[in-house]
């Protein structure tokens, strides 16, 4: 088995869980790590929000030992707030701090952060420099191919990140304007790998052992990162780990196994966030696990009405009785 190093952090060269706002919370990350994710990254937290003592922002930074090695991801576009935000973030003991320079959603990119940083290389460099100067752990950056097809500048941005002291760069092979549509461009990831000397993490359209292997083979990347392919499917990390360890692939999880892991993840979500908020967020998480099974549409509709943990138990009981 091969390993890579991001700064002084050793990571198994299998597959990592990508940061996903509103999805990759502590419960989701713990499930992924339990089944073999090599590395996890928190949901993104606002640099400015941390400085202004945003309680919700701080909640996003909590990491448990079960998730490690794990990074805290920050976003923002004002270097003057970075030092204080890093001080707060490091109180949660991350192994790595990651700068989000790839988020395409309007409320982030529209305010100059996320993927908008790729349109301003000078400001991007200032953000990375400020993070590296303030942090006592390695700093990484997550970027996209570029802003749009006419402005593909991932190589330039990755080079700046390296020059400013970043220890690795993760590249999602889509532009900002693509959002999550179309296909991820593996060639741009390969081009970044040829450009910089720091580790390059490849991200986009990995949802199977085969697509993970293809990402490594076609890009030469140092680590693969999985996002939507892991929705309701933490077993994907197990299958990838088995492949690279030379073990025989295990059978797909049974209905009973899927429902058990779903229940455990949502129970942890409720424990972390309380029943009211936890069950609201559990609606989408539960629906991910039910995709592809018999009567899935009906069950997913019921997921949208989950309000109490007892509702989840009743849904599981119904699914088991109708699929016995």
> Around Cβ 162, how many Cβ atoms within 10 Å?
18
Look at residue 66 and tell me whether its pLDDT is greater than 90.
yes
Query: Is residue 59 over pLDDT 80?
Result: no
What pLDDT does 213 receive?
98
Asked if 232 contacts 290 with a C-beta cutoff of 8 angstroms, the reply is yes
Active site residue 221: no
Nearby residues of 7 by Cβ (< 8 Å), 6 or more positions away: 96, 137, 138, 167
Dihedral sign (CA 77, 82, 84, 90): positive
pLDDT over 90 at 56, yes or no: no
d(CA 104, CA 155): 18
Which neighbouring-strand residues pair with 201? 170, 223
119: enclosing H helix or E strand: none
In contact, 229 and 198? CB cutoff 8 Å: no
Pair 201, 16: CB distance under 8 Å: yes
pLDDT, mean of residues 55-73: 89
- In the three-class reduction of DSSP (H, G, I as helix; E, B as strand; rest coil), residue 3 is classed as strand
* pLDDT tens profile 111-155: 999 999 999 999 999 999 999 999 999 999 999 999 999 999 999
Which tokens hold the place of 21? 């706002």
Omega before 76 cis (within 30°)?
no
> Given 103, 155, 164, 221, which residue is catalytic?
103
pLDDT beyond 80 at 193: yes
Q: What is the pLDDT of residue 125?
A: 98
Q: Could you tell me if 206 and 226 are in contact, meaning their C-beta atoms sit under 8 angstroms apart?
A: yes
Q: CATH fold of 255-322, please?
A: 1.10.1200
Mean pLDDT of the chain: 95
Name the more confident of 1 and 58. 1
pLDDT value at residue 60: 84
Average pLDDT over residues 45-63: 85
**Answer CATH for 3-245 from 3.40.50.80, 3.30.530.20, 3.10.129.10, 3.20.20.70:** 3.20.20.70
Domains of the chain, by residue range, sit at 3-245, 255-322
Q: Which pLDDT tens digit goes with each residue over 253-280? A: 999 999 999 999 999 999 988 999 999 9
| pLDDT at residue 292 in the model | 85
CB 174 within 8 A of CB 204: yes
Q: Rounded distance, CA 20 to CA 41, Å?
A: 8
Residue 120 CB: number of other CB atoms within 10 A? 13
* Residue 7 φ then ψ, to 5°: 65, -125
pLDDT of residue 249: 93
42: which residues sit within 8 A by CB, 6+ positions away? 19, 24, 29, 60, 61, 63, 70, 71, 72, 73, 94
Kindly report the backbone phi and psi dihedral angles of residue 107, in degrees, each rounded to the nearest multiple of 5, phi listed first: -70, -15
C-alpha 158/C-alpha 199 separation (Å) is 11
Confidence at 57, pLDDT banded by 50, 70, 90: confident
One-character DSSP codes across 178-216: TTT-S---HHHHHHHHHH-SS-EEEESS--SHHHHHHHH
Type and span of the H or E element at 238: helix 235-245
Query: When comparing pLDDT for 239 and 57, which is higher?
Result: 239
Would you call 245 helix, strand, or coil by DSSP? helix
Token pair for 85: 């935000």
Asked whether the predicted pLDDT for residue 69 surpasses 90, the reply is yes
pLDDT, one tens digit per residue, over 220-238 is: 999 999 999 999 999 999 9
Decide if pLDDT at 103 tops 90.
yes
Pairing of strands 3-6, 9-12: antiparallel
Residue 55's pLDDT band, with cuts at 50, 70 and 90, is confident
Those residues whose C-beta lies under 8 Å from the C-beta of residue 88, and which sit 6 or more positions away, are 50, 51, 58, 61
């Amino acid at each position: 088995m091969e390993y890579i190093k991001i700064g002084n952090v050793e990571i198994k060269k299998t597959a990592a869980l990508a940061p996903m706002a509103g999805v990759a919370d502590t419960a989701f990350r713990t499930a992924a790590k339990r089944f073999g994710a090599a590395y996890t990254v928190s949901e993104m937290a606002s640099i400015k929000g941390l400085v202004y003592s945003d309680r919700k922002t701080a909640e996003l930074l909590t990491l448990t030992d079960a998730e490690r090695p794990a990074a805290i991801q920050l976003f923002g576009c004002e270097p003057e707030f970075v030092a204080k935000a890093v001080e707060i973030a490091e109180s949660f003991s991350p192994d790595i701090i990651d700068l989000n320079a790839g988020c395409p959603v309007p409320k982030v990119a529209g305010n100059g952060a996320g993927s908008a940083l790729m349109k301003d290389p000078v400001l991007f460099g200032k953000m990375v420099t400020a993070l590296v100067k303030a942090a006592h752990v390695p700093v990484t950056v997550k970027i996209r191919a570029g802003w749009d097809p006419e402005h593909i500048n991932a190589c330039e941005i990755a080079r700046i990140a390296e020059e400013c002291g970043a220890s690795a760069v993760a590249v999602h092979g889509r532009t900002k304007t693509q959002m999550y549509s179309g296909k991820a461009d593996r060639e741009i990831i390969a081009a970044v790998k040829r450009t910089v000397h720091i580790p390059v993490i490849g991200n986009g359209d990995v949802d199977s052992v085969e697509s993970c292997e293809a990402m490594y083979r076609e890009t030469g990347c140092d680590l693969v990162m999985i996002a939507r392919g892991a929705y309701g499917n933490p077993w994907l990390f197990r299958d990838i780990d088995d492949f690279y360890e030379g073990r025989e692939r295990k059978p797909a999880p049974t209905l009973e196994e899927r429902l058990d892991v779903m229940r455990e993840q949502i129970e942890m979500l409720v424990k972390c966030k309380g029943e009211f908020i936890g069950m609201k967020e559990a609606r989408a998480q539960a629906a991910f696990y039910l995709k592809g099974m018999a009567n899935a549409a009906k069950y997913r509709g019921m997921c949208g009405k989950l309000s109490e943990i007892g509702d989840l138990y009743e849904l599981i009981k119904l699914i088991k009785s109708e699929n016995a």
